[in-house]
Structure formats: structure tokens, C-alpha cells
Amino acid sequence: MSAGRYAPSPSGDLHLGNLRTALLSWLAARAEDRQLLLRYEDLDAGRTVQGSAERQRVDLESLSITFDAEVLWQSQRHQIYDDAVAGLRLQGLVYECFCTRREIQEAARAPHAPPGAYPGTCRELSEQERGRRREQRPPALRLRVPDEDRDQSVEDRLLGRVDGVVDDLVLIRNDGTAAYNLAVVVDDHLTGVDQVLRGDDLASSAPRQAYLRQLLYGVPARSAVEYLHVPLVLNTEGKRLAKRDGAVTLAQLQEQGIGPEAVRDLLLDSLGLPQGPLEQALDAFAVEDLPRGPWTFQETALPPR
């Protein structure tokens, strides 16, 4: 199976930026005869808002954004993630880390390492030291990345080559929950996702995810996935659009008398596509013609109330 995916966090209602990315995911998948899967990234229970997943699904369907196969919930896949880490353990690529976020931020790091990169503090602890540290706090599990593998790159259909430095990223957090990068890679591979369309603010994570996919499944890092990192939607101050920017969700716009079809047409127009049913826009859609810059949302672009 060949598929794309849309993977929101059920942390509240989708805003116009989220909906635009979902719309693009549908167009890109359908244009190249892929299925489109819906996955809820709900591993962080503290951010999950009750009922938001259902409201998100209703909003997406009101824009005619449809999905194939059953909805996948990451919170129901803990054993699958643990099994993936067990395979990496057998290769000697996993070690325990006892560092707090503050300790990582304050630690000296290797030259040219990106901000926030893990400096390897716990990488070579003795078994005696690990035992002592376990008594103080439960460990996270990290990937042991050889120095020669740290520089990785992927090809993106919109951005071109994306380079990144792969640090010893977290696989399992110290509460036993799979980390974002691990869960994304495992889910994408096991559900046949070979097209990843998402906001370009996530482009820097692509090299590490491609590298991890290669380790787990033997898929060449540069050919496992077709990446499409699309420009964000900004507010009038040039910042990433957020729910605090006024009426930016379908429910809020509906209260102002602006229905889903008008929102759909606004989003299509922002992409240079004809307004109307999505099937009509699909006929005119081509990845190479997508805007390369961000779209600034202004309330004046909305139809009259």
C-alpha cells in the first residue's frame, strides 16, 4: 500500500493553518493515487482535550477531506513501539539516559551541534553508575548514533535537500511513553506511508526520522519517504497562526456566518487553485505549482457576513 497521512494532535479544534495542511495532504495523496490515512498523535495525555478528536474529524469531513482505512491512535500502540526499541537494543543501539532537560541545556556540547542536541552525558556510564542513577530517577532510552552517521540529509520536493545532524535522540521517555520521533517512524512504515506532507517548521526533523527508519527497517534513508514540507500560515504580525489570533477555527467562523464551503474556497484560493468541490481543484493540482512562501491570513480575505 502507498499512502499519505494527516496526523493531528487531539489538543483542541483545528485552525485554518491545520486545515490548509490537511487539504494539501488530501490533494497530494489523491493526485498520485495514494490512500490518505488519519492518525491521532495522542501520546501526550496532558495535551489531549476530550472530544477534540471527534470535532476535528467533523471539521475535516465538512471540507470534504476524506480518509481511507481505520483511524490510528498512537496511545493504543505502546507494545508496537516497545518491540521496535527491542530490535534496536539487539543491535547495541540503545542506552539509558538519566539527564533532566535542565541538565541537557546546561551541558557543554560538541562543536557545530544544533541547539538542544544531546551531548552524550550518559552514553558511556558504567553499569554501577547506571544502577546508582536508577535509584534516583527512571531512565529514558536513547539511540546510540555512531559519529560517522550524524550528518544526514533527505530530499524534499519543495525545499530540495534538507541537511540535519542526528543526535542521540530519545526513543522512550522516562515515563515509559514512546517519543515523537520513534512513534512517527514506526507508524509511517507499518501503515505504508511513503509521502509525508506537513508544515515546513518540521523539516529539520526529517533527516533524523529517515535515519531511524533505515535502522529499524533497512529502508535507504534518502528513498524511504517522499517529503513535502509546505509553508506555514501566518498572522498579520508575521508569526505562525494560532488560535489566539481571532476567529480561525471552523466553529468560530460559523458563529460569524461563514460556512465550511466558504472556508474551503478561501484555502483553495490561497493555493492558487480553483474554488469549488475538491475534485475540481484536484484536476488543477500539481505539487510543483504550490506556493513556496507562507500565506498570511487576514480577516479581510473572508467573505462578507
pLDDT digits over 38-91, tens only?
999 999 988 999 999 999 999 999 999 999 999 999 999 999 999 999 999 999
Cell numbers standing for residue 204? 529539520
Q: What is the mean pLDDT of residues 208-227?
A: 85
Q: How far apart are CA 32 and CA 16, in angstroms?
A: 24
Contact yes or no for 285/223 (Cβ under 8 A): no
Q: What is the mean pLDDT of residues 3-16?
A: 96
Considering the chain, what is the average pLDDT of its residues? 92
Q: How far apart are CA 6 and CA 40, in angstroms?
A: 8
Q: How far apart are CA 35 and CA 3, in angstroms?
A: 4
pLDDT digits over 248-263, tens only?
999 999 998 999 999 9
Looking up cell 542506552 gives 95
Q: How far is CA 262 from CA 24, 64, 250, 266, in A?
A: 17, 13, 10, 6
Which DSSP category does 56 fall into? H
Contact yes or no for 51/57 (Cβ under 8 A): no
Q: What is the pLDDT of residue 112?
A: 55
Q: What is the pLDDT of residue 50?
A: 94
Q: What is the pLDDT of residue 119?
A: 87
pTM of the predicted protein model: 0.92
- Domains in the chain with CATH codes: 78-191 (3.40.50.620)
Q: pLDDT at residue 110 above 90?
A: no
| Residues sharing a CB contact under 8 Å with residue 18, sequence separation 6 or more, in sequence order | 8
Q: What percent of the chain has pLDDT over 70?
A: 94
Q: What is the mean pLDDT of residues 227-235?
A: 95
Q: pLDDT at residue 107 above 80?
A: no
b/e map 162-181, b = 16+ CB within 10 Å: bebbbbbbbbbbbeebbbbb
pLDDT digits over 264-292, tens only?
999 999 999 999 999 999 999 999 999 99
3-state secondary structure at position 160 = strand
pLDDT digits over 150-180, tens only?
999 999 999 999 999 999 999 999 999 999 9
Q: What is the pLDDT of residue 82?
A: 98
Q: How far apart are CA 23 and CA 205, in angstroms?
A: 22
Q: What is the pLDDT of residue 46?
A: 86
Q: What is the pLDDT of residue 243?
A: 83
Q: How far apart are CA 40 and CA 42, in angstroms?
A: 6
Q: What is the pLDDT of residue 153?
A: 94
Q: pLDDT at residue 117 above 70?
A: yes
Q: pLDDT at residue 138 above 60?
A: yes
CB-CB neighbours of 287 under 10 Å: 17
Least confident segment among 22-31, 217-226, 267-276, 282-291: 217-226
Confidence of residue 114 (pLDDT cuts 50, 70, 90): low
Q: What is the mean pLDDT of residues 211-234?
A: 87
